[in-house]
Amino acid sequence: MAGLELQHIEKTFGRTRVLHDVSFEVGDGKFFVLLGPSGCGKSTLLRIIAGLEPQTHGSVSFGGQCVDDVPPPARDVAMVFQHYALYPHLTVRENLAFGLKMRREPKPVIEARIAETATLLEIHDLLDRKPKELSGGQQQRVAMGRAIVRKPRLFLFDEPLSNLDARLRASMRVELKKLHQRLGVTMVYVTHDQSEAMTLGHAIVVMNHGKIQQIGRPEQIYHEPANPFVAGFIGNPPMNLFEGSFRLDQRQLEFLVGDLTFRFPFQAHERISANTGMATLGIRPEDVKFEPQGPGYVAITGTIDLVENLGNDSIVHMMVKGQSLTARTSFGFHQHAGESITIHVKNFHLFINDNRIPLPSP
Amino acid sequence: MTHRPVLLGGIFLAVLGSLCPFLWFILTSFKSQILVEAIPPTWWPDGSLVFYASALFEHRLLHYVRNSVIVAGSTTVIALVVATPAAYALARLRLPGKTWVLGGLLCVAMFPPIVIAGPVWQILERLGGLNTHWGLVLPYVSLTLPLAVWILTTFFHELPVELEEAARIDGCTTWQALYKIMLPLATPGLFTAAILTFIYAWNEFFFALLILTDPERQTLPVGIALFQGEFIMPWGEIAAASVIATLPLIILVLLFQRGIINGLSAGAVKG
């Protein structure tokens, strides 16, 4: 059964359309991530799920039931906000109790739930403090607690970690994942941070300009990006994308960019209607090898521009026949800027008309 | 740092300048009749309480205080009860023509009282509101509402929307979110609006003189102004009465000041 289902959601503010025909389904108990750059409509989508914002068209259902006409207080969802939104005039304990009191839970139940949540999040010592007496990380925990304590049927997270520093963010990410494993409740998580999306999500929706670009498991989105946007958005450093042209003859597809030419054995494909046209070729920095490999690899020579040493990794920026290309290598890399180098690549991503075209190895 | 002494000196002079008339009144109120009329004037009073006794008992000052408390108190309560939801709606809802409403309110507040005095008097006469307290409260409320709405709108506007949304998701209706979460956080604004409304209604003279001719119902400013007889100007009694009339305001401001300063919304939202 689907925990959450969106059907053909559209949203316009005045004349601006911020969501275009968004549909997806979230399995019960799954951790679902909405990923995209800021302004892509992901937060608006979350607010539509919460009922804080009405959709212009389309429908939202929870567990098979349409909730379009259900106001937020009755939707039984909990939301963790980017800025936490703790009630500043209430203590942590009162903040946790607030939602339960509003739902007229008996007092012993409220106390038991608060105790349970405080144990889970280790915030016992903070219960009698006011939000402004807490650090950012502590406020984050309390905000999480306020969601957990209610035992809602759906958790919504709106970039909850974006205000924390990098170290705290990484540890909260782990805790969040553990929390989901313990509670087993459906969670929808909005973020612009791909590493949060990749590590947390059972499934990821990549959005841009109010449209869904791709829905899939994290590894699917990484290995088989549906279009150049997803390809460039996922991965660090981002995928090298070359805008060029293609020529199709008989059983071979030729991709040309500047002085570079790549040839792939190729069968006709339904998505390619013409024999020539514009195309985008992608190479992941981590797929670039510096040692000669087995058969199927293409060797290209170039010049090193800059080497960034990250300790165990090095990021190598180079020029290859007039095109700039970035590579990531996990071995000790000893060459320097200005030296010439030969790289070996096997995995290519080809996009024609913004669609992924599966490529056999050359 | 070099500007500091100059700044402090300036502040001291400004405060002294605005306090001077008050100081003179306070000094006068503690004088006896001979000292008040002495030429050349003397600074220091002889500590006589004659004028206070006269103001309180002969001129029935407490009776005017009571009337003023009723009028100013009701004006404040009614103005806030009406202004709060209005300001909330103006601050939060996507209303068409919102700026026009706020601008219009500001224009209304700018009207000189004399322009509307005639119509107000006629309306009150038809409604039977002349010489009643509510007949005075009504124009006071409409005259103070713009300011109250403006102050509260600014306050509600500054409170993060996320708080209200969190309250909605926690199970509040819009009204519950308003009075359980937003109002407690807007207390500094409520205090400010309340005290300004109260001061206005407490000090207002023109409409009070126009609408209340019955000495039983007159408020403090009118009452004190009518101390003067045909041939005498009882400066001493007026000074004593003015001191008594000002005291409640000073006490109120001092009490509310703590509420205003309490930065309740600090820490509501990080960053």
- Same domain, yes or no: B54 and B44: no
Based on the domain organization, do B28 and B67 belong to the same domain? Answer: no
Residues lower than pLDDT 70 in chain B: 1-2, 258-271
Interchain CB contact of A99 with B (< 8 Å): yes
> pLDDT for A165-216, tens place per residue?
888 888 889 989 998 999 899 999 999 999 999 999 999 999 999 999 999 9
B268 to A139: CB separation less than 8 angstroms, yes or no: no
The model's pTM is: 0.80
Q: What is the mean pLDDT of chain A?
A: 90
Asked if A72 reaches chain B (Cβ–Cβ under 8 Å), the answer is yes
Backbone angles phi, psi at A23, to 5 degrees: -135, 135
Please report the pLDDT score of residue A258 as a whole number.
86
pLDDT, one tens digit per residue, over A52-72 is 999 999 999 998 899 999 999
Same domain? B19 vs B108: no
The span from the CA of A98 to the CA of A88, in Å, is: 12
Q: What is the pLDDT of residue A318?
A: 94
| B157 lies in the same domain as B86 | yes
In the predicted structure, residue A91 carries a pLDDT above the cut 90: yes
Q: What is the pLDDT averaged over residues A15-38?
A: 93
Question: How far is the C-alpha of A322 from the C-alpha of A310, rounded, in Å?
Answer: 26
Which of A98, A135, A149 is the best substitution to test chain B (most B C-beta atoms within 10 A)? A98
Specify the domain boundaries for CATH 3.40.50.300 within chain A: 2-232
Give yes or no for residue A272 having a pLDDT over 80: no
> Residue B168: which of A73, A89, A163 has the nearest Cβ?
A73
In a domain, B123, yes or no: yes
SS3 A115: helix
Cα A276–chain centre separation: 34
Note the CATH number of domain A236-357: 2.40.50.140
Query: Which among B167, B172, B266 is the nearest to A88, CB-wise?
Result: B266
What is the distance between the alpha carbons of residues B157 and B189, in angstroms, rounded to a whole number? 11
| pLDDT value at residue B261 | 58
Q: Are residues B204 and B100 in the same domain?
A: yes
Is B266 part of any domain? no
Q: What is the mean pLDDT of residues A15-37?
A: 93
> Residue B4 belongs to what domain range?
1-48
Say if B33 falls within a structural domain: yes
Q: Are residues B4 and B124 in the same domain?
A: no
- Do the Cβ atoms of A72 and B268 come within 8 Å? no
pLDDT at position B37, please? 81
Q: What is the pLDDT of residue A2?
A: 61
**Closest CB to B173 among A73, A79, A132:** A73
Whether chain A has a CB inside 8 Å of the CB on B46: the answer is: no
For B153-212, the DSSP string reads HHHHHHS-HHHHHHHHHTT--HHHIIIIIIHHHTHHHHHHHHHHHHHHHHH--HHHHHH-
> How deeply is B160 buried, as exposed, middle or buried, from its count of CB atoms within 10 A (0-12, 13-18, 19+)?
middle
- Are B124 and B55 spatial neighbours (Cβ–Cβ below 8 Å)? no
Distance between CA atoms of B215 and B230, rounded to whole angstroms? 17
CA B148 to chain CA mean position, Å: 11
For residue B267, tell me if it sits in a domain. no
pLDDT of residue B263: 40
Place of tokens 């300004």: B196
Contact B270 A136 (CB under 8 A): yes
Distance CA B268, CA A86 (A): 6
For domain A2-232, the CATH architecture is 3-Layer(aba) Sandwich (3.40)
Q: Are residues B37 and B65 in the same domain?
A: no
Q: Confirm whether B29 is domain-assigned.
A: yes
Q: Is B68 on the interface with A (CB under 8 A)?
A: no
| Residue B102 included in any domain | yes
Q: Where in chain A is the domain with CATH 2.40.50.140?
A: 236-357
Q: What is the CATH number of the domain that holds B246?
A: 1.10.3720.10
**Is there a single domain that holds both residue B27 and residue B126?**
no
Residue B271 resides in a domain: no
Beta pairing, strands A276-283 & A260-265: unpaired
Length of chain A in terms of residues written = 362
State whether B116 and B37 are in the same domain: no
DSSP code, position A335: -
Q: Give the total number of structural domains in chain B.
A: 2
Interchain proximity B176–A131, CB inside 8 Å: no
What's the Rg (C-alpha) of chain B? 23
B119 with B161, same domain? yes
- Confirm whether B19 is domain-assigned: yes
Q: Do B267 and A103 touch (CB under 8 A)?
A: no
Q: Cβ of B270 and A163 within 8 Å?
A: yes
Same-domain check for residues B25 and B68:
no
Query: A125 exposed, middle or buried (CB, 10 Å; 0-12, 13-18, 19+)?
Result: exposed
- At residue B259, the pLDDT reads 63
A104-108, A110-114, A247-251: the lowest-pLDDT one: A247-251
